[in-house]
Structure 1
C-alpha cells in the first residue's frame, strides 16, 4: 500500500502498517470485514479500515443507551471540560489529522489543516455553550418554566468532503447538552475520524461516543434503528430523502444538510478584479466538492466579458496536483464514481456551452479534473439545473436584475447564494430576495459556530450551529405550576 506522494514526518506513524479500529463502548473493535481506502491523488490503496456488521452497530447503539443517563447527569460544566480536552487532542494531533484528511479526501494540505482548525474552534465554542432554562411566566396565576433536555442517542452520518470537521461539528453540540452518539463516517473517508476516535478513547467516557465503519450498506440500519432518537445527516438530497423515509416509522428527530446549487449574482457596480478573486476562491475550493460552493455565476452584460476574462485568468492559475504537495491549490475529486460524474459534466460543458478554461480530465494516476470555466451555457442544461460536484463552473449573462434573481431562484435547491456589488444597501436588498438558507454579500461560504446554517426547499431540514442548531439536539420540557 504505497502512495506516489510520501506522507511528511508529521503523520507520526507508518500508514501502511497502521491498524484502524472501531470505537464501541470505549473499546477498539475489529470490523466484520475490511474495506480498502484509496488515495484519490494516486487511486492506490493507502489503508485498510474496519466495517461493522449490523450486530456491531446494535452493540454501539446499546452502549450509547447505557451511557446516556450518566452522561446526561453530569453538569454542563463537566461535559464542557471534557469537550475542551477533546479540543486539546485535536491541537496536539493537528498535522497528523490534516495529512490523513488529505490522503483519504484529496484536498490540498492547507485546506485540510483548515478543517482541523475549524474542528478545534467549533469544539471549544460548543464546550462553552449553555442552553439556559427559560421562565415563560411568573405571576399571581402561575409559574411556567421551559427546560431543554437531551433528545437521547444521536445517529450521525458524515460525507466524504469534510469528514473530520463535520464529525466534530455534530459531536460537540450533541454532547454538550447531554446526548450520546453513534457516528458513521463515509466508507471512502474513514481514516481521520477513526484515528480521532482512538485518540479520544480515554477522554470521552465509554459509550458516550461510538464510531462504526461502513462498507456502504450500514446507513439504512442506522437510520431506522429503534434505539436511535435523532439522526443528523449531511449528504446528497437523494440520500436525504431515503434517510427521512427511514426515520418516519419511529418519528425520529431529524436534521438534514443536503445538496445545493448556489448562485452568485454579480451587480453592475461590482469591483471586477476583487469579485473575480472571491468567486474563484469559493467556486473551486475543495475541488468544487462543497454543497454550498458557488456553482452558477450571473453577471450583467455590461461587465460580462471583463468578468469572464478575470475569472478565466484566475482559474487557469490554479495549480492541480496531489494534496500533500504544498504548491497544490486544486486536488483530485474524491472517488472513481465522482470522477465519472465529472467526465459527464465536462461533456455537457462542451456540448451546451463554450469552455473558456480547462474542460478535460488529466492523464495521470488519480482522479484529476482540470479547473473548468464555461460561458454562454444553455440554462436548461443539467450542468445548470443540477448540482455539479466537481471543479466545473458556469458564468451566465443577464440584462435585467429581476430576471437574474428569478433565474437564481428557479431551482429545487435552497442552500446558499451570494451577491457581489459596491452599493451595499442594494446588494443586501437583492440578497434578501434569494430563496436560500443563507445569503452572503461580497463573500461566500463563511461558516461560524454561532450562526445557524441550513437549507430550505430540497437542500435540507433544520439547521446546524448557533442556538437553532443546538436546540436540534434537545427536547422541550415545560413545567407548568398553577398558583392557588
Structure 2
C-alpha cells in the first residue's frame, strides 16, 4: 500500500534520523557487537558472529533493516552453560561492587539515550517521545533499585542458576532491559532472547554497554519454538521471566509444570473500562486521548469500553471527538529540516501482517453484526509521499462485537476499540470479565463506594476508579488475575524476591500460582 503524494507533499525524513545513520552510530559506539552487515550474539562475555540473520523490515515504511542473527538450539544450550558460569562468578561479587557496575552501565545508556530511542523508532515504530520515555523509564527505574536494593536483599541470596528472559517486542528497554539489570543487581546472571519482531539492535547496544561494565548479561536471537528447550527447560536456569501472548505463554507454562522453576509469566488480557452512573466527561475524555498512545500496543491498554445504556449518548459525545482527533503517521517525517519530530499519538503497528490481521478481525466483527461507529482512513495520517503504509492502522471503533468473533473476547493489540452497552451491574461485570482475567481495568463512576464494591468483582489485578492503571514502576507491584498471569508478581520487593532465595525454605512468593492465591495490595 502506498500513501498518496497529494496528502502531505512536503513531508520528508528528518536529516540524521535514517536507519543507516543510526546503524553507523552503533558500529562506532559498540563495534564489538555490530558488524558492518549484521548484529552479533552475546554469551560468555564474547560477541559472536553466529546465526543466520533474519531478513527484517521496519514497520515505518517497509524498508530493510538489520535483523536478529538466529541461532540453533545447540548454540542456545552453549549460551545457557556459559551464562551459568557467569552466574557462579557473579553471585559472589559484593553488592557494593554490583551497584557500582550497574550504575556505570546506566550512565553509559543515558549518554546514548537518543541513539537507543532512534533504534526503537525504526525497529518497533514508536513515536520519538515515547521511544525516549521507554529508555528513560528503564534507566530511572533501575537507578531506584540501586538505591533501595540493600533492604530488599536482607537475608536473601541469588538463585542457584541464571534468569532466562523471553519478552515481547513492545518495550525492549523499560520491561526487558530493566528486568535484566535488576536481576543482575540482585546477584544473578541474565540471558535474554531478542524479540523476533523488533528491538534486536536496541537490545544489542544496551547489552554491549552493560557488558563493558562487567555485567553478566547474555543476548541471543532465534525462533522461540526452537530455542524453548534451552531457554525454558534447561536445568541450569534458576528462573524464567516471560512477557507475551496467551498462546505462547500457555506453552511455556506447560513446559514448566514439572520443573519447579521460579517463573513470572505476563500474558495478555482484555482490559476493560466500565462507565456506570458517571458524569465527569471532560475527565474521561483526557484519559481516552492518552489511551491511544503507541496505537494501544501495550499490555495495559484499554481496548474495551462497557457503557451503561442510559449514558451511551453522553459517552459517544465525549469519545467520538477524541478518536477522530487522534494523530498518527510516520514518526520521523517533518516538513522542514529543522522542525522537531512530530508529536503524534502513534505510528505503525509492529508489522504489515499485524495490520492485515487487525483488518480481518474488524471485517469479521462487522460481517457478524458488529456496528462500525468510527473508521479512520490512511489519508488522515501524516506520511512521506510515496512511502509504504502497509503497517499503519487508522483508529477503528466497533459497537457490540458479536460473541462469535475474536474482538469480543481477545485483546486486539492495536488501535481498535470495542464498545458493549449494558443495562445492569451484573451485565457490566460480565462484559468487563470477558477474557478470563486481565492485568488492569477501570471504572468511571461518580459514587466511589459503589465503584469500590463493583471493582471487587472485576477479574483484573489493578482496578482504577476514574483513572487508568498502568504497569507501574519501582515499588508498585504488578501482576495479573486468571489467564493473564502465571507465577510470581513483580515490582519492588516482589521482583527482587522472585529472583532471590530467602532463609525460609518454605517461603511462598506473592503471585498467581495454581496451588494458592496470594495477592498483595494493588
TM-score by length of 2: 0.82
Q: Corresponding residue for 1:373?
A: 397
CA distance in 2, matches of 1:58, 1:348: 43
Alignment of 1:118-197 (within 5 A): 118-130=137-149, 132=151, 147-189=156-198, 190-197=200-207
Q: Corresponding residue for 2:415?
A: 391
CA distance in 1, matches of 2:152, 2:115: 40
Per mean C-alpha deviation after superposition, the further-off stretch among 404-413 and 107-116 is 404-413
Is the 1:449–1:466 Cα contact (8 Å) retained in structure 2? yes
Deviation, 1:134, is 9.7
The secondary structure found in structure 1 opposite 2:53 is: strand
Alignment of 1:45-444 (within 5 A): 45-130=64-149, 132=151, 147-189=156-198, 190-205=200-215, 208-216=216-224, 217-282=226-291, 284-325=292-333, 326-351=342-367, 352-358=369-375, 364-444=388-468
Q: CA RMSD in A?
A: 2.6
Gap change, CA 1:440 and 1:12, over 3 Å in 2: same
CA distance in 2, matches of 1:431, 1:410: 15
1:299-340: CA deviation from partner (whole Å, max 9, x where unpaired): 222321121232111111112211224143221110133222
Deviation, 1:265, is 1.0
Is the 2:161–2:236 Cα contact (8 Å) retained in structure 1? no
Is the 1:331–1:368 Cα contact (8 Å) retained in structure 2? yes
Is the 1:300–1:398 Cα contact (8 Å) retained in structure 2? yes
- Segments of 5+ residues of structure 1 without an aligned counterpart are 136-145
Gap change, CA 1:65 and 1:312, over 3 Å in 2: same
2:48 is the counterpart of 1:38: no
CA distance in 2, matches of 1:387, 1:131: 39
Gap change, CA 1:220 and 1:235, over 3 Å in 2: farther
Deviation, 1:124, is 0.8
Deviation, 1:31, is 2.3
Q: Corresponding residue for 2:7?
A: none
Deviation, 1:441, is 2.2
1:40-89: CA deviation from partner (whole Å, max 9, x where unpaired): 02122122432223233223212221122331112222212222222212
Is the 1:349–1:359 Cα contact (8 Å) retained in structure 2? no
Is the 1:259–1:387 Cα contact (8 Å) retained in structure 2? yes
CA distance in 1, matches of 2:491, 2:171: 16
- Segments of 5+ residues of structure 2 without an aligned counterpart are 1-10, 28-34, 334-341, 380-386, 507-522
Deviation, 1:478, is 3.3
Gap change, CA 1:395 and 1:133, over 3 Å in 2: closer
The count of aligned residue pairs is 464
